[in-house]
Amino acid sequence: MAKRAVGVCLKPDDPLAAEVLRSLAEGLADARIEVRCDAAAARALGLAAQTPRELAASADLLVVLGGDGTLLGVAREIGDAQVPILGVNLGTRGFLAEIAPAEQLDAVERALRGAMPIENRARLEATVERGGAEIARFIALNEIVVGSAASRLLDLETSADGQPVTTYRADGLIVATPTGSTAYSLSAAGPILLPAVAAFVLNPICPHTLSQRPLVLPDSMRIEIRPLSHDGGAVRLTVDGQAGQALAEGDRVIVRRSPHPLRLVVASDHDRFEILRTKLGWGAE
């Protein structure tokens, strides 16, 4: 039997994450499971480093030690790779990174045996076109945002499958996946979608017209956004709150469902409504 390998991605400059990593590495060594590291994990363990994309191509499982932000970054950096990702929660929310540090070794061993549930989470693919040429391409797990860098009103001409939706006059526009419906879109009064729902949320940020409300669209649709004017402020495409591209008037942002979902390992006792009650404080006085 070929030796199993686990790629580990670590939240940088976090002493707690490094301590949890060392505990995991010792357990994996005892189980004769090879550990491969990204740059931050390699510094903590004194091993050679690989990029997340390289780890995704060579490991049987990726383990992300950090919070949801760390996992979002890894999900973007691995591109189209279909390696399962298991998140160990060292953050505050844990919508994506569900596994507690005390459960990490057992969860990793079970995931390698195929005994942990895996959810296919829809991702977004966004391209930016200028003058008919593609100048940038991104992949997102949570959301794509076309917004004002200076909180100025934007005019954003928006269509779905070539049919005009409206021209939003707002501080920006969010296109969110079901996974991202509990992130920025939720803060902008958007609806919560369960991960299995085949839909996206189109959600204006502080719209000038109160009748422009969040819109739920089938995720088979191709969404196009064109900034027409921006009252003198800079316009930017932001991906999962972490990466992005400056936009010029007349650029086209084309958003569609990626054909490559993220394969997310979830807890065996996974209860979506219990997670929402706990993380969002539903019912708390």
Catalytic residues: 68
Please give the backbone phi and psi of residue 53, each rounded to the nearest 5 degrees, phi first: -65, -40
Taking the C-alpha atoms of residue 147 and residue 171, their distance in angstroms, rounded to an integer, is 6
- The answer to whether 24 touches 6, Cβ cutoff 8 Å, is no
> Residue 176 contacts by C-beta under 8 Å, 6 or more apart in sequence?
142, 143, 183, 184, 185, 190, 200, 201, 203
- φ, ψ (nearest 5 deg) of residue 86: -115, 125
Which 3 state secondary structure label does DSSP give 57?
helix
DSSP string, 26-45: HHHHHTT-EEEE-HHHHHHH
Whole-number Å distance between alpha carbons of 254 and 264: 25
Residues in the chain: 285
